Amino acid sequence: MKKAVQIYDTTLRDGTQREGISLSCADKLRIAARLDDLGVAYIEGGWPGSNPKDVEFFQRVQDLNLKHAKISAFGSTCRSDSNPEEDSNIRALLEAQTPVCTVVGKSWTLHVTDVLQTRLEENLRIIEESVNYLKKRGREVIFDAEHFFDGYREDDDYAMQTLVAAQRGQADTIVLCDTNGGTTPWELEHIFSSVAGQLEVPLGIHTHNDSECAVANTLVAVRNGAVHIQGSINGYGERCGNANLCSIIPDLELKMGLQCLPKGNLNKLHDLSRFIAEIANLSSDEHQAYVGKSAFAHKGGLHVAAMRRNSQSYQHVDPTLVGNEMRTVVSELSGYGNMLSKAEEFGVQLQDRETAHEVLDEIKELEAKGFSFEAAEASVAIRMHRRQPGYRPPFTFVDYSATVQHREGRGMFAEALVKIRVGDLEMHTAGDGNGPVNALNIALRKALLPKFPQLEHIHLSDFKVRILNGEEGTASITRVLIDLHNDSHHWSTVGASTNIIEASWQALMDGIEYGLILA
């Protein structure tokens, strides 16, 4: 049996303190269900005494049929010079009706005297009594020793006394918190190993990422006895974020041989990471370890050539273990192996080595002009298709025009004329839109729909514009990336030109042609 450690997810509380994140109660319930499906041991739902949304969450989460996770309510010790039974925060923890209560208390003398503005002895009392009060009412109690590592550096004896107070109060787990995120791994190792030998209660770790050490510090703590791991999905959290569970969980399971999820659930991590980013209305970090789109992407020709011989040559783990996949990126740095891998990925049979090099030479030439194919793989695939023997494109471009006008009584609008050839038939159509690219898209679809009704299911989902050489001002090269999708596929195409309309038209034509091939 692998040694087990507990994952305590704080995405719904600490994670939401990240600037720019605001989750509705419905959002939090959806995330809680997915975290439970992953198999974490604890889900910290929020601070019930702080806002009505968290109160609602704790009421509604009771209706979820959770299979793995315990829900924890988070709050602080009772106020100084008062008793737990009189404290509104402690009362809110009990009213949340969660099986677990997490209580945060001060372990740094600076916070006791300057923030709480109370006596050191009084702080010890409220820690012990708050923990014990909740414990006697049937709750599993986790004590978070806030600012513990800063406190230990300043006054190690007092910092230890706060932990002993929580232990006397019968805390089930004591968590050492690097709240300011400034502790280095070697400092944390020294302090954590010293503490571990003085307590009988299981220890946990809670780190922040202000010095980019949160994941490393967590792993060091586990090596020194921590069995309870706090963090958030994608590392979301205040300032620079919390310890990233998307890195910690696979590190624990794949690198350290510890079990922290139910067997077979690790491959759900990639999809969960993207799901939570989507709910939080944030772009996924594509370069994030393990779960990022680029985590197992190979671009250099030398690397790809080696990967084709042995996939372990440039990958530290099998990407499927975390639900991710290996990708080959095509760019000006690519070699023959990149083209073969990409052709296999798209199901294209390249005629010979010369054909592969022709496509590669075209890509390198276009990238020198401002194109970038790394995020526009459909533009690579369509160029491969065009070089297949017997390939007949669904349509060929003849010419187009686009104008933008502002008329009294009508305001701003655009018109486009598109001439294309479908087989032996030449089509000449017009379209009106709210901008020139929209008008071109409408005119192109009008021409193609009678022959290709499947075009009804091809939709544009994103349109990105980037100026490449801004020092040229309005004469700069513009790169356009278009994302499209149908009922079952997503794909991206690229165009580049000193004329933004031309760049958009290039990407649009590639995208529509590729979509018609898929359909």
pLDDT one-digit tens code per residue, 54-69 = 999 999 999 999 999 9
The pairing of strands 228-231 and 203-207 is parallel
Q: DSSP character for 251?
A: I
Mean pLDDT of 172-191: 98
* Maximum mean pLDDT: which of 356-370, 372-386, 392-406: 392-406
The answer on pLDDT for 335 being more than 90 is: no
Residue 107 confidence (pLDDT): 96
pLDDT single digits (tens) 454-484: 999 999 888 888 888 777 787 889 999 898 9
Q: Which segment of 6-20, 122-136, 348-362, 504-518 scores lowest on mean pLDDT?
A: 348-362
Average pLDDT, the chain: 89
Look up tokens 């109370």; give the residue: 118
Model pTM above 0.85: no
> What is the mean pLDDT of the segment spanning 45-52?
87
Give the whole-number percent of the chain exceeding pLDDT 70. 91
Question: DSSP secondary structure string, 410-474?
Answer: TEEEEEEEEEEEETTEEEEEEEEESSHHHHHHHHHHHHHTTT-GGGGG-EEEEEEEEES-GGGGG
CA distances from 6 to 16, 57, 258, 263 (A): 21, 23, 10, 14
Most confident of 177-191, 292-306, 469-483: 177-191
Decide if pLDDT at 369 tops 80.
Answer: yes
Asked if pLDDT for residue 209 goes beyond 60, the answer is: yes
Contact status, residue 79 vs residue 106, Cβ threshold 8 Å: no
pLDDT of residue 339: 62
The domains of the chain, with CATH numbers, are 6-263 (3.20.20.70), 297-386 (no CATH), 395-451 (3.30.160)
Residue whose C-alpha is closest to residue 436's, from 378, 493, 499? 499
Q: Give Cβ neighbours of residue 443 (< 8 Å, ≥ 6 apart).
A: 400, 416, 417, 418, 429, 430, 431
The sheet with strand 490-497 has its strands ordered as 459-467, 478-485, 490-497
The mean pLDDT of 413-424, rounded to a whole number, is 92
What token pair was written down for 426?
A: 């030449």
Confidence check: pLDDT of 336 > 60: no
Lowest mean pLDDT among 47-51, 186-190, 357-361: 357-361
Q: Which is higher by pLDDT, 102 or 379?
A: 102
What does the alpha-carbon distance between residue 106 and residue 123 come to, in Å, rounded to a whole number? 7
Q: What is the mean pLDDT of residues 107-125?
A: 95
- Comparison of pLDDT for 1 and 141, the residue scoring more: 141
